Amino acid sequence: MKQTKKSETEQLILEAAKKVFIEKGYAGARMQAIADEAQINKAMLHYYYRSKEALFTQILESAVATMSGQILPALQAKGTVMEKLELLVTNYIDTITQNPYIPMFVLNELAQNRLNFQESLMAKMATNDSVEEFMKQIMKEQKAGVLRPIGPHHLMLTVMSLIAFPFIAKPIFTGVMKIPEFMYAQMMEERKQLVMEIIKKSFLK
Could you tell me which stretch among 2-10, 66-74, 83-91, 105-113 binds a second copy (CB under 8 A)? Answer: 105-113
Could you tell me which stretch among 12-20, 43-51, 61-69, 160-168 binds a second copy (CB under 8 A)? Answer: 160-168
Q: Under the criterion CB under 8 A, does residue 111 sit at the interface with a second copy?
A: yes
Q: Which is nearer to a second copy, 25 or 73 (CB)?
A: 25
* 166, 184 Cβ separation under 8 angstroms: no
Closest approach of a second copy to the CB of residue 28, in Å: 3
The residue type found at 27 is A
Dihedral sign of CA atoms 163, 168, 169, 170 in order:
positive
Q: Which is nearer to DNA, 11 or 193 (CB)?
A: 11
Residue 5 interacts, among a second copy, DNA, none and using kind-specific CB cut-offs from 5 to 8 Å, with none
Q: Under the criterion CB under 8 A, does residue 139 sit at the interface with a second copy?
A: no
Closest approach of DNA to the CB of residue 114, in Å: 14
138: burial class by Cβ within 10 Å (0-12, 13-18, 19+)? buried
* Helix boundaries (H) for the chain: 8-28, 31-38, 42-48, 52-76, 81-98, 102-112, 117-127, 130-143, 152-168, 170, 181-203
Closest approach of DNA to the CB of residue 40, in Å: 4
Residues that bind DNA (CB under 7 A): 1-2, 7-9, 29-32, 40-44, 46-48, 50-53
How far apart are alpha carbons 144 and 166 in whole angstroms? 33
Question: Nearest Cα to 64, choosing from 10, 122, 9, 13?
Answer: 122
Bridge partners (DSSP) of residue 189 are: none
Q: Under the criterion CB under 8 A, does residue 31 sit at the interface with a second copy?
A: no
Pick from 150, 181, 185, 205: which binds a second copy (CB under 8 A)?
150
How far apart are alpha carbons 127 and 130 in whole angstroms? 9
Residue 78 interacts, among a second copy, DNA, none and using kind-specific CB cut-offs from 5 to 8 Å, with none
Q: Long-range contacts: 170-179, Cβ < 8 Å, 24+?
A: 170/100
* 150, 203 Cβ separation under 8 angstroms: yes
The residues that touch a second copy, with contacts defined as CB under 8 A, are 23-28, 101, 104, 107-108, 110-113, 118, 121-122, 125, 150-151, 153-154, 157-158, 160-162, 164-166, 168-173, 175-179, 187, 190-191, 194, 197-198, 201-202
